[in-house]
Amino acid sequence: MTQHATDRPLRIVHVFRSPVGGLFRHVLDVARGQAELGHHVGILCDASTGGERAATALEELKPRLDLGLRRIAMGRNPGLSDLAATRAVRVFVEEAKPDIVHGHGSKGGAYARVPRLIDRNWPATVYTPHGGSFHYTTKSVSARAYMAAETMLARSTDIFLIESDYIARLARPVIGEKASQRIRVVRNGVSTAEFKPVPLEQDAGDLLYIGELRVLKGIDVLLRAVAQIAAGGRELSLLIVGAGPDERQLHDLVAELGLGNQVRFSPPQPIREALGQAGLMIVPSRAESLPYVVIEATAAAHPLVATNVGGIPEIFGPFADRLVPPDDSEALADAIEQLLSMPAPEKTEQAEALAGYVRENFSISEMVAGVLSGYREALTYRT
């Protein structure tokens, strides 16, 4: 679309579907960082999800978005509505005239890259999956369809900015050898302020889960672990913070396990507000990419039990032997009881050592720099 100099401010449009969770935080942090460095940024996302928290966050960022903020209807699953959404993306891009269209997540990645299949004048395209389609490991019809789409869209992707080595390994056989050469791993990062520990509230409980309420997150495994600990004579309180499609199912399981007096549900809230409400955070996931909640909790030196899945071992680095296997309520229960029984000085020392590793390897400034470096490389393929 334009001539590209390597030293001039870039025009960047971020496209993603739902303004929730780690993906949303990533886009906000990257967009804010890019704007602070003098680049011109725009955002296009779904209008029907995210609620008041997303609306507030986007409005706060809006003054920094030189290329504008637009929210349109985007369906979660593939359908006819995608035609209207793709047209809306085209209109926004034609108005914004960006150098880079950066798609996030499987749906945002599709909207950012499909037009390139038929329009060779489309801007340079960058894709960050945030796990997305690459979490599908089954041989189901839907999984095969998602993989076929990723294979096709790889041809219209200039650079893949993938958030973890784990997802990069899953992506390579899907997108092919040629496209794999354009994978760059840029890990999520947190700010310096987030390395300050969060003091516990006076009436803090025992355990905390924070995140989406869905089967993939393994909350059912955590509930069964809490029930097993209770059967051994130790009743622990558990605060579950979040929302999601499987919330009703989880309420039913709490009742079935007789945990009504031990488990409390709370709507989504910032993690640093939640950390002060329980002494030990649990991440019982069956699959992950590079979850922000783990980076945020470890940065705050908050005691944590997590499963050995996805990119979580990359966050733990030399301390990855502390992780527990997924889908194993007995192992999770043992790890919880062991950490709760650990003397306070030893627990603090363990948490601070992990925080030190995270401080050195997961910073926002490095994330923003890595993304911009990927953009500059993507532009070399479009000149």
Number of domains comprising the chain: 2
Do 36 and 65 form a contact (C-beta atoms < 8 A)? Answer: no
What CATH number has the domain bearing residue 123? 3.40.50.2000
**Chain segment 275-305, per-residue pLDDT in tens:** 999 999 999 999 998 999 999 999 999 999 9
- Give the domain range for residue 214: 192-361
On whether both 163 and 305 belong to a single domain, the answer is no
Do 67 and 31 form a contact (C-beta atoms < 8 A)? Answer: no
Residue 100 CA to residue 348 CA, distance in Å, equals 44
Do 202 and 350 form a contact (C-beta atoms < 8 A)? Answer: no
Q: Which long-range contacts (CB under 8 A, 24 or more apart) does 243-250 make?
A: 243/212, 243/213, 243/267, 243/268, 244/212, 244/213, 244/214, 244/217, 245/213, 245/214, 246/213, 246/214, 246/215, 246/219, 247/213, 249/215, 249/220, 250/213, 250/219, 250/220, 250/223
On whether both 220 and 353 belong to a single domain, the answer is yes
**E strands of 157-307, at which residues?**
159-162, 183-185, 205-210, 238-241, 263-266, 278-283, 304-306
User: What is residue 3's predicted lDDT score, i.e. its pLDDT?
Assistant: 41
Residue 50 has, within 13 A of its CA and on its CB side, a CA count of 25
On whether both 273 and 293 belong to a single domain, the answer is yes
On whether residue 1 sits in a domain, the answer given is no
Do 248 and 264 form a contact (C-beta atoms < 8 A)? Answer: no
On whether both 196 and 56 belong to a single domain, the answer is no
pTM of the model: 0.91
Q: Decide: helix, strand or coil at residue 71.
A: strand
What averages of pLDDT result for each successive group of 10 residues across the chain (383 residues)? 62 95 95 98 95 94 97 87 93 97 96 93 96 71 82 95 95 94 96 96 97 94 98 97 94 98 95 96 95 97 97 97 98 98 95 97 96 97 74
On whether both 176 and 92 belong to a single domain, the answer is yes
Residue 74 CA to residue 4 CA, distance in Å, equals 31
**Chain segment 169-193, per-residue pLDDT in tens:** 999 999 999 999 999 999 999 999 9
Residue 112 CA to residue 124 CA, distance in Å, equals 10
Name the strand (E) or helix (H) holding 102: strand 100-104
On whether residue 213 sits in a domain, the answer given is yes
Do 275 and 328 form a contact (C-beta atoms < 8 A)? Answer: no
On whether both 252 and 162 belong to a single domain, the answer is no
Closest CA to 136 of 147, 127, 128: 147
User: What is residue 145's predicted lDDT score, i.e. its pLDDT?
Assistant: 81
On whether both 233 and 336 belong to a single domain, the answer is yes
On whether both 313 and 331 belong to a single domain, the answer is yes
On whether both 48 and 171 belong to a single domain, the answer is yes
User: What is residue 226's predicted lDDT score, i.e. its pLDDT?
Assistant: 98
On whether both 38 and 156 belong to a single domain, the answer is yes
On whether both 182 and 250 belong to a single domain, the answer is no
What residue type is 38 in one-letter code? G
Listed in sequence order, the residues at least 6 apart from 351 whose beta carbon sits closer than 8 Å to its beta carbon are: 298, 301, 302, 303, 304
Tokens of 70: 């637009």
On whether residue 329 sits in a domain, the answer given is yes
User: What is residue 383's predicted lDDT score, i.e. its pLDDT?
Assistant: 60
On whether residue 2 sits in a domain, the answer given is no
Q: Beta strand pairing status for 124-128 and 159-162? A: parallel
On whether residue 4 sits in a domain, the answer given is no
On whether both 240 and 156 belong to a single domain, the answer is no
On whether residue 6 sits in a domain, the answer given is no
